[in-house]
Amino acid sequence: MGDRFEIPGAIAWQNVLRSASSRWSDGRDPGDPESAHARIASGIVLPNVAPKFRLAADEVYFCIGSCLARNIEEQLIYRRLPVLSRSVPFADHTARPNGAVNKYTPASILNELRWSLDGVPFPENPEFVELDYLNANPDVHQAVIDQRFPSGYEHWLAHGRAERRPLRAPQRPLEVERLVGP
């Protein structure tokens, strides 16, 4: 590694404020060569994308994930492709109708895939998260590993609910974490 170059934060901030390229738009005409639009259109940051697959009209699509998935879903719909995830009925929505189906964590996406592809029943309790339940109940986790139950949810239905088992491990207050560590 070469020599480090350091400048005080106040000077760095002033440099950012003075740079015409530090902001997306300053309200000028997009034809202005100093605008962000003109800089992008000039090819400075255009990626070279060569997809290795094609989307076919006879395929059916289901989008799962965060807002990126919603954007992909919208683009598929605009192209008149069949998207199963597009019509999720919600009575009162203020933004995107499907915004409530955003899944931000791998655990929540895994739950959705298990429910839809592995035949794991959808939980009656909307707060049930498979991985949280298994982490909170190590004996159940072992029972699933040993194949005595197909899933933590199946255990919860058969025993955990009646036993009032926790759905997730209790979290220590942040102050305790700072004092004693994780």
Per residue in 122-174, pLDDT (tens digit) is 667 767 788 888 888 999 999 988 989 888 888 988 999 899 999 887 765 44
Helix (H) or strand (E) holding 177: helix 174-180
Chain Cα centroid distance, residue 30: 33
pTM to 2 decimals? 0.39
- Is residue 170 left, alpha or beta, with left meaning phi > 0 and alpha meaning psi from -120 to 50? beta
DSSP E strands: which ranges in 42-177?
none
